[in-house]
Amino acid sequence: MKHAAKAAILAMLLGSCTTLPDPPTRAVDPPTACAATAQFSFVCGADKPEDLAHIPDTPWLIASGFAKGAGLKLVDTRQRTARIWFTARADQIARHPALPDCDQPPDPALFTTRGLSLRVVAPGKARLHVVNHGGRESIEVFSVDFSDARQIPALQWQGCLLMPPGHAANSVTTYSDGTVLATVLTRPGTSITDFVEGRVTGGVYQRRPGETAFQLLPGTQLPGNNGLEAARDDSGFYVIAFGLRQVLGYDRHDSSVPLWRLTVPDFMPDNIHWDGDRLIMAGMMRDEPACGGVRRIIDGVADGMTCHRGYAVAQVDPVAHQLTMLAYGPPDPQFNGVSAAILIGQQLWLGSYQADRIAVRDLPYALP
């Protein structure tokens, strides 16, 4: 009853939200290592799939892996299987002269991935930017060929862009001219506790084609710069301030002050991405009764939120500056740390920075 009441309050707080029925339930399957729960079925073998990207008009998802050696996974949404995608085979390496920072591809044994950005550059061709923490702090750049629907998409490493010393990227996005943006959650000298308490810790960094290093964009320093996405017309970008539970819009040519900001009433948005024509963000519930309420600071350290929290997925209207709730649900015994969402038909696919799987839920209603 507490969760039903909480969901109703959340829908009302979001103003423009559509009230949705309770999540579907079904009997739990016989116990296995990755058995379905009351609200989810799972794709096993995806260690900490912190971010997700859908290869357009295909059944394939890309999942990051926020753990040592978890690398990139290619997910078949028809068979509900995940496989390691980048193995550094010779045919997966094709260095591009415009990406001179790294002589060698990431070591698959160390490859630790976080934010993803997939941009279609021609029919059947895309460029994939990947945040890497394994062996170096960098944005790894890949080409993706999905032109033959009968074949598994092909992946080739082209090079990397190194982050400034001491800076670890969180999310990444690009403009159509090749400019790359990346968020840093905590710059040197700051901590997670700082942004949980509302202090500035991060920023948005930019690197244009031909430049040799990322530069901090003035005015983008926020408490916990997290999810990041470019405007469809290249006019600017959207960034999530995790510590404030806000999404902010910036102009590309003048980032000194945000153009607008929206505070999310009762969940903590993490990643934000275009999914078709929808700008979607997902995250965990802020005030979770099952976890004793909001995230706490204990002995000066923010708790790791390992207690299982409910989740929410919302659509952002960057023109009207409104939020619409798309889905939400209670804590799940086998899936925590919701950080990303993709919609495929009437199925919701969820990524997590904590779980060892991807969650899938059927939506019993048509989305607005």
Mean pLDDT by 10 residues, the chain (368 residues): 44 40 36 84 96 97 98 97 97 96 97 98 98 98 96 97 98 98 98 96 97 98 98 98 98 98 95 96 96 93 95 97 95 97 95 98 84
- Residue ranges per structural domain of the chain: 2-162+264-358
State how far the alpha carbon of 251 is from the alpha carbons of 184, 217, 219, in Å. Answer: 19, 11, 11
Residue 365 — φ and ψ, nearest 5°?
-145, 155
CA pair distance 282, 215, nearest whole angstrom: 28
**For the chain, what's the residue count?**
368
Residue 215: per-residue pLDDT: 98
pLDDT on residue 69: 97
| The predicted structure's pLDDT at residue 356 | 96
Q: Is the dihedral of CA 68, 41, 59, 20 positive or negative?
A: negative
